[in-house]
Chains A and B, each alone.
Chain A
Amino acid sequence: MANLNIDSIKERTFDAIVIGSGMSGGWAAKELGDKGLKTLVLERGRDVKHLKDYPTTNMYPWEFAHHGQITDELRQANPIVSKCYAFGEDAQHFFVKDKEHPYVQEKPFDWIRGYQVGGKSLLWARQTQRWSDFDFEGPARDGFAVDWPIRYKDIAPWYSHVEKFAGISGNMDGLAELPDGEFLPGFPLNAVEQRFSKHVKSRYQNRHVISARCAHLSKPNQIHLDQGRGQCQKRTLCQRGCPFGGYFSANASTIPWALRSGHVTLRPFSVVESIIYDEKLGKATGVRVIDTNTKEAIEYYADVIFLNAAALNSNLVLLNSTSNRFPNGLGNDSGTLGKYVAFHNYSAHISAEWDGDKEWTTDGRNPAGGGYIPRFRNVYKQETDFLRGYAAGFYAYRSRETSSNGIGEELKKNLVKDELGNWQVGSHMMGETIPKESNYVALDKTQKDPWGIPQLKISVVYDDNDAKMKKDYVEQMTEMFTSAGFTNIQASVDNRAPGLDIHEMGGVRMGNDPKTSMLDKWHRLHACKNVYVTDGASMTSTSCQNPSLTYMAFAARAVDHWVREKSYQ
């Protein structure tokens, strides 16, 4: 390298490096900046600046060439990402196209990615629930994976910390299995959601339908205004990027905040090839980056590395960081790196109709999406022939009863009919999956990506537990819908591959024992204590909550730990 002189090395040396600028990397960057550490944030994709880089955010449906539909050319070129529900004409520019970053599907896996500053935090479904000890104690109680090295009390203050800043709307529901948090006012349930909530409460022990908790500013506090964000305007066009900063994204919140600290440098177009390990010092000293524009390799140095590349790419970075000390990937003394990958099972839905409450409807749009049913299966004790359980969404809506019958004047009249139809209700499952050694990611031995980095080989499948849980979800929801008086109940199960849930987790799991896990209770590699992994890769088990809030709390807690202890030294 031409620029290996002292000055250049100094220019490339920081207190901390954060790999990734999305949900968890943004939090690491913000916390490091707040604490005054000179920090470099590396992002493999392009920059997406809040407001400026949301090209479709204020477009009306008719302003899109295909009124929102994607073209066949785009679909044919992207069989994977075009399966994603949010991959429409308005947001397709925030998704990785299939050919841009190839990977090997040893078993079918739909890997949905967002390579840009902010990552998938621009695109997420914004549902945020805390874990409880029913979740953290799951593996130990039920005998799978390894015991989590942390409990709710360890993470609770960090949930509070990130909730206050991100802005989470919800109600104090007082449920042991879904702890309350620092909430802005919740979005209320509508007439039929309330009816179902009351019905479930009266008929079933420990089953609840609550307002979905979500990362929207229902009523902003000063800390949100200080970020330049404002009240959620109920557009529900979030995937385009929000001109009000009404929902939490790294782009609207943590990244600009971090940059304003004056301590943080953001470098887009920077793919991390590997983390550099110094055998004499016994620690990581920096990262090797490939500039995606120039294809030049550049090294950056720091005392600590935060790896937040999103679950599977964090696995890839560690697997590709080999040395004499770590021939099988950085920190991989246990041989567990890349293994015990799990996800969420979203493969069942149910819909029905309610012939009542006709005097009520809704007005405007609900950014929370409706109700949330926390896990009620196997919470207090094992009660089914499968392990763990599922949460579920629940929503009710009424639409104008239009028809497109006829032609001419008749058709025109049918299309503007202003009568409301019956209430429609629906639910989808969010099931926990059990991490297993046989569900893994690894480096492909021959194929490389456009930057010369081995492609990731993914081998993740459903198991019998997932099938039983799915069946139970359909049975239980059908029963709950039937007893509520809903009619025309239709369950639909799909055969989607894992991945489309966009909740892939694990591979760099936490645990107490370095022989069976990668990370300690502070999210540091057991064997290389100045590398922290605080994204989905660190998950020992998945439970069934939407995971982003937990990653945010992990990242903030890990930065705090590094700054307080610097304990590897």
Chain B
Amino acid sequence: MNRRIAIRNMALIMGSAALLPACLSGDKGKPIVTLKQLKLDAAQENLVSNLCETILPKTSTPGAKDLGINLFVFKMIDDCFDKKGQDDFLVGLEEFETAVDKKYGKSFNDLTVAERSAFANDIEKQSKVPNNKDKDNKANGFYWAVKGQTVFGYTTSKYFMTEQIVYELVPGRYNAMFPVKKKAAV
């Protein structure tokens, strides 16, 4: 599939046009992702989106794709990562693909949801094992980059900041001595 079409479809499916950032331009009114630095093919873009959704799936609350977090992740890596960070991301992405293929004999995009979660959970567990030499490999680096931006995008999203932990633009108050009990009651 043509990459531009793939991205357009992705954006449409997610219905997240409202969250599409400024670097997306219209094509017959339909948004298309144009990444400035990162060169990803359609399969790789799907992989990143699927990994975002694996980390932050739709449950009783919205998931990464519902909230357009995957698009935010693309934007952050494209705009805010430096050249080395982007190079590491791309190498890590390939090594991640290789590691998945070695384990399952198929691509991450073709895994079941359960398999994707199992694979991600393995990386989470590895990071807690002291002196694990795999912990800092580039595939894992790629995973943590995607996770870091997914968590950042999610916890600073409108959804999270209005419906989970409410962000106040104008607190209007400072109570220096505030009992914890009272806070818990709120």
Docked complex: B73-96 residues within 8 A CB-CB of A: 75-76, 79-83, 85
On chain B, the residues within 8 Å of A412 by CB distance are 56, 59, 61
A404 at the A/B interface (Cβ < 8 Å)?
yes
What number of A residues sit within 8 Å (CB to CB) of B? 48
Q: Are B174 and A364 in contact (CB under 8 A)?
A: yes
Q: Are B174 and A407 in contact (CB under 8 A)?
A: no
Query: In the assembled complex, how far is the CB of residue A396 from the closest CB belonging to chain B, in whole angstroms?
Result: 10
Q: Are A187 and B176 in contact (CB under 8 A)?
A: yes
Name which of B9-17, B42-50, B103-111, B161-169 contacts chain A: B161-169
Q: Are B180 and A358 in contact (CB under 8 A)?
A: yes
Of A71, A415, A418, the residue contacting B155 (CB under 8 A) is A415
A411 at the A/B interface (Cβ < 8 Å)?
yes
**Does more than half of chain A's interface fall in helix, strand or loop, or is it mixed?**
loop
B171 at the A/B interface (Cβ < 8 Å)?
yes
Q: CA of A412 to CA of B53 in the docked complex: distance in angstroms?
A: 12
Of A61, A363, A415, the residue contacting B183 (CB under 8 A) is A363
Q: Which residue of B lies closest to A65 (CB)?
A: B21
A67 at the A/B interface (Cβ < 8 Å)?
yes
On chain B, the residues within 8 Å of A409 by CB distance are 59
Q: Which residue of A lies closest to B186 (CB)?
A: A363
Q: CA of A76 to CA of B83 in the docked complex: distance in angstroms?
A: 10
Query: In the assembled complex, how far is the CB of residue B125 from the closest CB belonging to chain A, in whole angstroms?
Result: 10
On chain B, the residues within 8 Å of A75 by CB distance are 82
- A72-B154 contact given A234-B171, A363-B178, CB 8 Å threshold: no
Q: Are A411 and B55 in contact (CB under 8 A)?
A: yes
Of A359, A362, A406, the residue contacting B176 (CB under 8 A) is A362
Name which of A9-17, A188-196, A507-515 contacts chain B: A188-196
B120 at the A/B interface (Cβ < 8 Å)?
yes
Q: Are B151 and A404 in contact (CB under 8 A)?
A: yes
On chain B, the residues within 8 Å of A58 by CB distance are 169
A62 at the A/B interface (Cβ < 8 Å)?
yes
Q: CA of A174 to CA of B147 in the docked complex: distance in angstroms?
A: 52
- A361-B180 contact given A72-B80, A407-B55, CB 8 Å threshold: yes
A476 at the A/B interface (Cβ < 8 Å)?
no
Q: Which residue of B lies closest to A190 (CB)?
A: B176
What number of B residues sit within 8 Å (CB to CB) of A? 52
Q: Are A69 and B76 in contact (CB under 8 A)?
A: yes
Q: Mask for A350-375, Cβ within 8 A of B = 1, else 0?
A: 00000000111111111100000000
- A62-B178 contact given A67-B152, A72-B79, A407-B117, CB 8 Å threshold: no
Q: Are A188 and B170 in contact (CB under 8 A)?
A: no
Q: Are A366 and B171 in contact (CB under 8 A)?
A: no
Q: Are B59 and A235 in contact (CB under 8 A)?
A: no
Of B54, B57, B174, the residue contacting A362 (CB under 8 A) is B174
On chain B, the residues within 8 Å of A187 by CB distance are 174, 176
Q: CA of A72 to CA of B56 in the docked complex: distance in angstroms?
A: 26
B121 at the A/B interface (Cβ < 8 Å)?
yes
Query: In the assembled complex, how far is the CB of residue A141 from the closest CB belonging to chain B, in whole angstroms?
Result: 38
B98 at the A/B interface (Cβ < 8 Å)?
no
A233 at the A/B interface (Cβ < 8 Å)?
yes
Q: Are A62 and B157 in contact (CB under 8 A)?
A: yes
A60 at the A/B interface (Cβ < 8 Å)?
yes
On chain B, the residues within 8 Å of A234 by CB distance are 171-174
Q: CA of A69 to CA of B156 in the docked complex: distance in angstroms?
A: 12
B4 at the A/B interface (Cβ < 8 Å)?
no
Q: CA of A366 to CA of B178 in the docked complex: distance in angstroms?
A: 13
Q: Are A67 and B156 in contact (CB under 8 A)?
A: yes
B124 at the A/B interface (Cβ < 8 Å)?
yes
On chain A, the residues within 8 Å of B23 by CB distance are 65
- A66-B75 contact given A359-B180, A365-B171, A407-B55, CB 8 Å threshold: yes
Q: Are A366 and B174 in contact (CB under 8 A)?
A: yes
Q: Are B174 and A363 in contact (CB under 8 A)?
A: yes
Q: Are B54 and A407 in contact (CB under 8 A)?
A: yes
A149 at the A/B interface (Cβ < 8 Å)?
no
Q: Are B178 and A362 in contact (CB under 8 A)?
A: yes
B129 at the A/B interface (Cβ < 8 Å)?
no
What would be 27 A-B contacts, judged by CB atoms less than 8 Å apart? A65-B21, A65-B22, A65-B75, A66-B80, A68-B156, A69-B80, A72-B81, A72-B82, A189-B176, A193-B176, A234-B171, A359-B181, A361-B179, A361-B180, A362-B176, A362-B178, A363-B174, A404-B151, A405-B124, A407-B54, A407-B55, A407-B147, A408-B55, A412-B56, A412-B61, A415-B160, A415-B164
Nearest 10 pairs of A and B residues by beta carbon: A364-B173, A363-B178, A363-B175, A188-B176, A364-B174, A364-B171, A67-B156, A190-B176, A71-B79, A62-B158
Interface residues, chain B, with chain A CB atoms under 8 Å away: 21-23, 54-57, 59, 61, 72, 75-76, 79-83, 85, 117, 120-121, 124, 147, 151-158, 160-161, 164-165, 167, 169-184
Sample of 16 further A-B pairs with CB below 8 A, known A65-B21, A362-B174, A365-B174: A66-B80, A68-B156, A69-B80, A70-B80, A73-B79, A187-B176, A190-B176, A191-B177, A234-B173, A234-B174, A364-B175, A367-B174, A404-B151, A405-B124, A408-B57, A412-B59
